[in-house]
């Protein structure tokens, strides 16, 4: 092979290498040119898609908030209406109860008035008759004890009987004209021999003012004995 041929062969290889390098560089440039462009287009598409996708989400959030607020307002309105109904029902019940109570009170007042009218209309003969005491020593003592009980004056049947038998022997008209009281001008009188000043001071309301009246004499004497000795039962001699 000639020198030129070898030289030509080398040139041919250089050319091939150069062509390959140029091709590679072109390919690389093409790649670098194409990829950024593709990325930009893809970025724009994604941005556009994101923009389109964001708006519905925003509107959806607003709608959800509005619906929640409307639901809350509706619940509050329902609760207020329910409370109003409950208060109205309670007020109605109170009014009905008050009306019933008023009617019941009026009924009771009418019934009480009716019963009072019936009692007043009962003839005296039908009513319980007054207690009657025999007009003797036993009756006088028993009537005196009933009056004494109403006036909180102590004393017993035996205490009264024992003392009046000693003082007057049971004679309601007895009078002592010889003792110191008689000498002083105020003789002792009646069943229990009471002097006039003592009778007037210890007279029991509702009894006679006649010192010789058996019941008036006994009750006044027992009232005096209660004040002086604690009870007629404690008197065992002249008092």
Count of alpha carbons within 13 Å of 29, Cβ hemisphere only? 6
At residue 76, does pLDDT exceed 60?
Answer: yes
- Choose among 206, 224, 226, 207: nearest CA to 215: 207
In sequence order, the 6+-apart residues with CB closer than 8 A to the CB of 181 are: 187, 188, 195
CA-CA distance, 175 to 152, in Å (whole number)? 28
CA-CA distance, 196 to 77, in Å (whole number)? 94
CA-CA distance, 162 to 176, in Å (whole number)? 18
CA-CA distance, 71 to 155, in Å (whole number)? 91
Query: In the chain, helix, strand, coil percent, each to 5?
Result: 75, 0, 25
pLDDT of residue 204: 98
Q: Using 50, 70 and 90 to split pLDDT, how confident is the model at 86? A: confident
CA-CA distance, 105 to 13, in Å (whole number)? 134
Q: In sequence order, what are the beta bridge partners of 194?
A: 189
- Overall average pLDDT of the 147-168 stretch: 97
pLDDT of residue 205: 96
Q: Which of 108-112, 197-201, 212-216 has the lowest mean pLDDT?
A: 108-112
Sign, CA torsion 106/107/109/110: positive
pTM of the model: 0.49
Higher pLDDT, 51 or 124: 124
pLDDT of residue 62: 61
């Amino acid at each position: 092979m000639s020198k030129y041929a070898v030289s030509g062969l080398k040139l041919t290889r250089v050319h091939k290498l150069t062509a390959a390098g140029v091709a590679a560089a072109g390919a690389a440039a093409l790649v670098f040119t194409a990829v950024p462009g593709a990325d930009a287009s893809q970025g724009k598409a994604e941005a556009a898609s994101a923009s389109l996708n964001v708006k519905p989400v925003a509107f959806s959030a607003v709608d959800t908030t509005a619906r929640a607020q409307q639901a809350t307002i509706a619940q509050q309105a329902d609760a207020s209406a329910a409370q109003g109904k409950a208060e109205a029902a309670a007020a109605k019940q109170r009014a009905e109860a008050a009306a019933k109570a008023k009617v019941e009170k009026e009924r009771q007042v009418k019934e009480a008035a009716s019963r009072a009218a019936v009692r007043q209309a009962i003839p005296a003969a039908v009513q319980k008759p007054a207690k009657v005491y025999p007009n003797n020593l036993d009756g006088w003592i028993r009537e005196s004890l009933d009056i004494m009980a109403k006036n909180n004056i102590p004393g017993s049947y035996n205490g009264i009987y024992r003392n009046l038998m000693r003082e007057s022997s049971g004679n309601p008209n007895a009078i002592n004209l010889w003792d110191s009281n008689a000498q002083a001008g105020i003789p002792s009188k009646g069943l229990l021999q009471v002097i006039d000043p003592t009778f007037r001071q210890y007279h029991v309301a509702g009894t006679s003012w006649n010192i010789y009246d058996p019941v008036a004499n006994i009750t006044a004497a027992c009232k005096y004995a209660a004040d002086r000795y604690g009870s007629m039962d404690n008197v065992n001699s002249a008092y």
